[in-house]
Chain A
Amino acid sequence: MHQAGSEPIPLDTSAVIYPPTVARFNTHVFRISMDLYVPVEKDLLLAALNALMPRFPYFSHRIHSGFFWYYLMNNNSPLEVYEEVSAPCGHLDLRKGANGYMFKVFYTEHRIAVEYFHALTDGTGGITFLKSLVAEYLRQRGNIVDADPQVLLPGEPVDPQETEDSFAKIYRPMKSVFDLESRAFHYNPKGAHYSDDHSLVSAVMDVEQVKEQAKKWSLTITEYLVCEVLSTLQELQKLTVQSEKRWKPVRLSVPVNIRRIYGSKSLRNFTLFVVVGLDTNLGTYSFEEIVKSVYHQMRGKVNEKALSLQISRNVAGRRIPLIRYAPNILKRPLMKLLSDSYGDTIYSSVISNLGNVTLPDGMEEDVRRVDFSLSPSQKNKFALAVISAKGQLVLNITSILAHNREFERLLLVHLVRKGLKVTVDSNG
């Protein structure tokens, strides 16, 4: 049985917003999965998970609601693996859902998937855990898996940097202005039915083809996809909001992994969000104009100085005595208001790209496909998650709209018209 420290650990700076804002249509859960060629056996998977947990002590925690803040405590409950569900990123009951763990391991005949509550970790932490779990599973099946920086071995000593709150470490006070952005366009189809069983549309593309398209415009894959999504949102607004006076800016929230910029090895949340958008009140943007705008916005916002200011603002807010010593019962509604006014309402959707997942020898031949999905929210009814592996780029669009795939259709048709070969599947 794994053991973790018994001292309470505060949530990291970017995780404090997640527990109080969990809601039926806002689960703050993301999923990463690997489809394998080899069959997945439940007992072997559980054995691999038990063997791996001491290497991930931070993942062995349970969340508690304290008088002032939420905090994490050691969780010694037995680990379990669960049969796959029909809808990804559903609500994770933090008390009983996975015996108090903030992640849940699912399996099917050929898939290992892990759903994480976002307060535990971000995409990088998530992919490291899943890769290590799959590698351990394959090792237990008899494979010899080569070394990989994202595959942590059960016997290795734990690096203290993996469990540090990097935000607190690199924080230095700066004078920052807390400016509020205007409301962005949100897709609200008439008579729509919402479901907490998220709908998922999965589009598979060839990485090289997408890279080639992006290169044409001198963009990275993320930037190119941001341009396509913004263009689609602009079109969607045109189609659904008749009066031009009621048009609002279309914006996307793009999570940026800042580990490389700050040299962090943390497996906890260490991501910042960059909001990129178009003010459609100024007129309709051509794709060339969108490309130019996104290029400059992304480069202007993703640099050490701009990000440090954002970190300073986030950390400093938490340290204000009035906030720090206010009871959690008062802070919780405040967090919700903050999340609404400075979070969901200022952008139209989220697109997260986990990048290219490398698979070491001994693992690559057994992995068929890697998937990544994000939970949508009540305001931002769809969320886009991108991951690449084995030459395939998988774009998963999750949505709370039960019978409406207009956005997904517009976006993928845009990509097809650009000459990309898109293979589509869905969860029903």
Chain B
Amino acid sequence: MAYCVECGVELAPGTQSCPLCGRKVIAPKEIIREKEESLFPSPSYDSVRRSLRLDKYRQGITELILTFAAIAILTLTITGAAFGSVLMFWRPVAYIVTGTSFFLVFLFFTLNYRNIATWYSLLTILTLIVADSHDMHFTWVAYPFTGLILFYTFSVFMLYRSIPIAVRIIISVLVLLASLALFDLFTHRTLTWFLPVGVPVVSVVIITLCATFIRFVKGHPSITEMTLMLLFSASLSTVAGDFFALRWKESESLLSWSFSLFVISLLLCAFIVITMSVKKVRYYFHNKIT
């Protein structure tokens, strides 16, 4: 009989490694001996055994949520019938269904950012459509709908690593432009500020973000650097927004309220350039901790 030198247990005949610590058995064949009948057959030997998909906790909570939802729907329907307006109760019912779905997402999908963001965006859109459809006409729902699409594009779609990064960026920029155009269309029924203001501002944002991205690819920037770059990008694009809006209105002044922001963006730009190019300054502002 072979023993595990680590655990001190005797090993069943034919055992090649200790089942407890995984240590390989190094001993002559006479000591390891021939394997007798296995304790259990290998998994491939199994006939199909049905396995429950839900665990106890999820199953219990699901039943509880569905029971409460069913009770709520039933109560509303009965109340509606009592007041003679059953048809008007579809909206509260729809709210209950979407509200219940919010809870169920937690139980049925792997809890990761992508799943939660995707399902909650979808459910939010559904809830907003229900909320805006009281007279069977849609009025304001297009705005949050566009906002959610923007959120999904930049916060979820950008994380799809299976799609090449260049493709992700191009699609995201196109979605951004399309959203701005839609905003303009929803508000004025025709394109007004989109071409003279929207497109140039987006271009400025893209250029500054590209600079940040290049810095990220070339070497890992610190959180301070990233924050400064994003601040620079935000302030410069705001200045650009003001600048192009004034050109669109054919105003004589170059900048109006955004002048101070312009100065800040210049200072930020100078600071970033100095920290990126001068090692000593960069080290001075480092934020690494052990």
Contacts and interface: CB of A to CB of B under 8 A. Distances in A.
Interface in B93-135: none
Nearest to A25: B55
Contacts of B61: 333
Given A202-B39, A333-B64, A424-B19, A86 B45 contact: yes
Nearest to A422: B9
B63 A200 contact: no
Interface in A74-93: 82-88, 90-91, 93
Contact of A91 (B21, B49, B57): B49
A353 B21 CA distance: 26
A425 B20 CA distance: 9
Contacts of B19: 201, 405, 424-426
Interface string A1-40: 0000000000000000000011111110000000100000
A86 B56 contact: no
Contact of A24 (B8, B18, B55, B63): B55
B57 A340 contact: yes
Nearest to B45: A86
Contacts of B7: 409, 412-413, 416, 424
Given A24-B51, A329-B67, A200 B39 contact: yes
Nearest to A335: B60
B254 to A, nearest CB: 58
Contacts of B8: 413, 416-417
B263 to A, nearest CB: 50
A378 interface: yes
Contacts of B56: 21-26, 336, 339-340, 377-378
A22 B18 CA distance: 33
A136 interface: no
Interface string B171-202: 00000000000000000000000000000000
B52 A23 contact: yes
B41 A86 contact: yes
Contacts of B42: 86, 428
A378 B57 contact: yes
For chain B, the bracket of interface size reads 35 or more
A165 interface: no
B50 A97 contact: yes
Interface in A349-394: 377-378
B266 interface: no
Contacts of A91: 49-52
Main secondary structure of the interface of B (DSSP, over half): loop
A86 B52 contact: no
A242 B19 CA distance: 27
Interface string B1-30: 100100111111001001111000000000
A423 B11 contact: yes
Most central of A91, A201, A424 by chain B CB within 10 Å:
A424
Residue among B12, B51, B55, B56 with max Cβ neighbours from chain A (10 Å): B56
A427 B39 contact: yes
A88 B40 CA distance: 8
Given A23-B57, A428-B42, A108 B37 contact: yes
Interface string A56-100: 000000000000000000000000001111111011010011000
Contacts of A202: 39
Contact of B50 (A93, A332, A339): A93
A337 B7 CA distance: 40
A109 interface: yes
B46 interface: yes
B218 to A, nearest CB: 33
A87 B40 contact: yes
Given A91-B52, A201-B20, A333 B67 contact: yes
B47 interface: yes
B39 A24 contact: no
Contacts of A324: none
Interface string A99-118: 00000000011100000000
Given A26-B55, A405-B19, A425-B19, A336 B47 contact: no
Nearest to A35: B37
B12 A423 contact: yes
A424 B11 contact: yes
Nearest to A203: B9
Contacts of A97: 49-50
A110 B36 CA distance: 11
B45 A83 contact: yes
Interface of B: 1, 4, 7-12, 15, 18-21, 37, 39-43, 45-47, 49-57, 59-61, 63-64, 67
Interface of A: 21-27, 35, 82-88, 90-91, 93, 96-97, 108-110, 196-197, 200-203, 329-330, 332-333, 336-337, 339-340, 377-378, 405, 408-409, 412-413, 416-417, 421-428
18 contacts: A23-B55, A23-B59, A86-B40, A90-B49, A96-B50, A197-B43, A201-B19, A201-B20, A332-B60, A336-B56, A339-B56, A378-B55, A378-B56, A405-B21, A412-B7, A413-B9, A424-B12, A424-B19
Given A87-B46, A405-B19, A413-B9, 9 more contacts: A23-B57, A24-B55, A85-B46, A96-B50, A329-B63, A340-B57, A416-B8, A424-B18, A428-B40
